[in-house]
Amino acid sequence: MAEISCEGQTTREINAAIRQLVAQGETELVVRHPGARHNLGVATVQPVKLTFAGSVGYYCVGMSDGPTVEIHGSAGWGLAESLLSGAVMVHGHAGNGAAASMRGGTVVIDGDAAARAGVSMKGGTLLITGNCGYMAGFMGQKGRLIVCGDTGEAFADSMYATVCFVGGRIAELGNDAIIAELTAEDTTFLATTLARYLNALLPHPASFKKVVAGRKLWNFDQREWTIWREALGADAVYLGTAALIALNCNRPLYVEDYQALGTAPYSCHHCHTGRCPVGITTQDPALMQRLDIDAGAERVANLFRATTLEIQMLARACGKANVHDLEPEDLRALTLEASMICGILLVGTNRIFGGGPGWQEGR
């Protein structure tokens, strides 16, 4: 078993050391003094046992495939994001977005998880032994989410086929989430999973509530337009993919490397492999050289400047001097479909289109 000390090292140097030791044949690594650094162990794609002797920061072991990870401490935002396979065990609490977009494997948080745990999960199992924050399971597509304690508001909102189990109190179900009956298969799964990962007194599987999608949002129905309008609401907006595109993501460079991944420019979604052809989501020194940091930073800055100017322009078009003065009454739909679903005026008109509930000629 090999050891790595994080003291005096950057995150990039630590991750490079992990990869070097694995390449030399090490199968068990202990990372000491992590100091809550961000991005530790990202894109680990070998079946190595990785132990962090202390708390870790944001996005620990994100985009990984195959490792067995133990964290003796707490974890920050985005723990095990986009995990493909393997197991991650946290002996502490986890921040926002734990196991977001995970596709397989198992993530166990032996403590509490903050908001949006398991958001957009696409497979695997997320087990939280304590409580979780609001919007856990939001837009879950597949997989299983187990919360032994209480949940926050909007639990399991807008799910597709993720199945959730809650041992405590549900503060509030999200849009289109319903309580379903436990089956014998569910009880067996819970008993097996809890016995495997919990050392404390096990909650009885029969005490759990099962939460699934009500399937009303699977297909649009004009009669359910109010549900859709609530589901499409937003309290905040963030930019992710646009910034990656500004950095050259999916640009038709190094086409042969795209082909080696079995994909092509403009349709590559292989960030988790660590083999990004344009050098963004990778720790490979040769690939990293392809990303011009200065030029990329300038393009991202230009993106946000242009976005800010566009928002200011929209605010002025609504007669507002400040972006923060925008109100729901200023909203306009850009398409007939959006006007129908959201029940708001179509841009350039004084009409809500659709003919269903909420429809009106004008006002």
The pair of structure tokens assigned to 216 is: 């009303």
Average pLDDT over residues 116-135: 96
Q: Identify any residues that bridge with 120 across adjacent strands, giving them in sequence order.
A: none
The pair of structure tokens assigned to 210 is: 């099962």
Look at residue 252 and tell me whether its pLDDT is greater than 50. Answer: yes
Average pLDDT over residues 71-87: 96
Q: What is the percentage of the chain residues whose pLDDT exceeds 90?
A: 66
Average pLDDT over residues 32-47: 95
pLDDT band at 9 (very low <50, low <70, confident <90, very high): very high
Highest mean pLDDT among 215-219, 220-224, 259-263: 259-263
Q: Tell me the residue length of the chain.
A: 363
Whole-number pLDDT of residue 270: 85
DSSP string, 204-266: PGGGPEEEEE-STTSS--GGGHHHHHHHT--S----SHHHHHHTTTT-SSSHHHHHHTT--TT
Whole-number pLDDT of residue 235: 58
Q: Identify any residues that bridge with 5 across adjacent strands, giving them in sequence order.
A: 32
Q: What is the DSSP letter of 86?
A: E
Q: What is the dihedral of CA 7, 13, 15, 21, to 10 degrees?
A: -90
Average pLDDT over residues 201-210: 85
Q: Is 289 left (phi over 0), alpha (psi -120 to 50) or beta?
A: alpha
Give the span between the Cα atoms of 128 and 112, in whole angstroms: 7
HEC letters along 256-277: HHHHHCCCCCCCCCCHHHCCCC
Look at residue 358 and tell me whether its pLDDT is greater than 80. Answer: no
Whole-number pLDDT of residue 342: 73
Look at residue 222 and tell me whether its pLDDT is greater than 80. Answer: no
Q: Identify any residues that bridge with 107 across adjacent strands, giving them in sequence order.
A: 88, 126
Residue 147: its H or E element: strand 142-147
Average pLDDT over residues 333-354: 77
Average pLDDT over residues 56-64: 95
Q: Which residue ranges form the domains of the chain, and what is each CATH number?
A: 2-219 (2.160.20.60), 241-323 (no CATH)
Q: What is the dihedral of CA 7, 10, 16, 18, to 10 degrees?
A: 30
